[in-house]
Amino acid sequence: MKLTDNVLRSFRVAKVFRENSDKINCFDFSPNGETVISSSDDDSIVLYDCQEGKPKRTLYSKKYGVDLIRYTHAANTVVYSSNKIDDTIRYLSLHDNKYIRYFPGHAKRVVALSMSPVDDTFISGSLDKTIRLWDLRSPNCQGLMHLQGKPVCSFDPEGLIFAAGVNSEMVKLYDLRSFDKGPFATFKMQYDRTCEWTGLKFSNDGKLILISTNGGFIRLIDAFKGAVLHTFGGYNNSKAVTLEASFTPDSQFIMIGSEDGKIHVWNGESGMKVAVLDGRHTGPITCLQFNPKFMTFASACSNMVRKWALSSSE
């Protein structure tokens, strides 16, 4: 089934999960779309079965906390950042709940973590104003970049380049094979002192970059030229919350939650808002992602995850 404006307007909440006692800070779908994993400020990691629509198991990271959880390519393994004690990134086997490796190096909280879509490489950005390049097979940092401010970063869908957003005003593109030579492209944006950038994502076709902010707008830019194609607003974010914005898997639509529990959806080409979905979330929707393989998406607020599916009338 193809995603269209009407199809998006037909999504309804299919399941509500109340597994958490505190804010859900991140979730990630497995590449095959069969599971989604969440991390929460209550130190829990919850694995959900997307096909059966139920939680499969819960693990805990009580000592170090858990944030920015990401699936790796190896089955049943994740990497995540810590939000207690230290700023080490941890590589965990879900199968036996054992750490495979630690990645120490950052001196302040990790605020961005992106797994390569093609291999064992991942990048992390921290409030220590660095971006580090890692390989899952080695605890040692494979590359280090010093920046002027808080970074956001992400791989492109081919895994050949990565983008770094710096100081909430410029996007730098790096070739993974020669990133020590500096960026091969820099796009300067208009600086907005009312908010800062909180996330950066490529569309699946690699043509677009979505910049999230903790203000009342997000930006869609051309990944090759850096031109701002659209600025999307009109959703509530008065408390400067970090709200996750996402593409649909076909790269056609952009969606973000709001602090009043509604989800806003735009057509990326026309820039028109096509849907406002009411998930009846009790707080700001901090996590929002579309399933990469199935016609469902998930949203999360303070302590609840909602699974969305097409209404049965479709």
Write down the pLDDT at residue 236.
Answer: 85
Provide the pLDDT for residue 304: 79
Q: Where in the chain are the domains? A: 5-309
Distances (CA, A) of 305 to 50, 241, 285: 12, 18, 10
65 sits in the region (left: phi over 0; alpha: psi -120 to 50; else beta) called: left
User: Which architecture characterizes domain 5-309 according to CATH?
Assistant: 7 Propeller (2.130)
Q: Whole-prediction pTM value?
A: 0.92
Residue 314: its pLDDT value, please?
A: 36
**Predicted confidence pLDDT, tens digits, the chain (314 residues):** 789 999 999 999 988 888 888 888 899 999 999 999 998 888 889 999 988 888 899 998 888 888 899 999 887 899 999 888 888 999 999 999 999 999 999 999 999 999 999 999 999 999 999 999 999 999 999 999 898 888 999 999 999 999 999 989 999 999 998 888 889 999 999 888 888 999 999 999 999 999 999 999 999 999 999 999 999 999 989 888 889 999 999 999 999 999 988 999 999 999 999 999 998 888 889 999 999 999 999 999 877 788 898 865 43
125-130 long-range contacts, CB within 8 A, separation 24+: 125/150, 125/151, 125/152, 125/153, 125/164, 126/87, 126/151, 128/87, 130/106
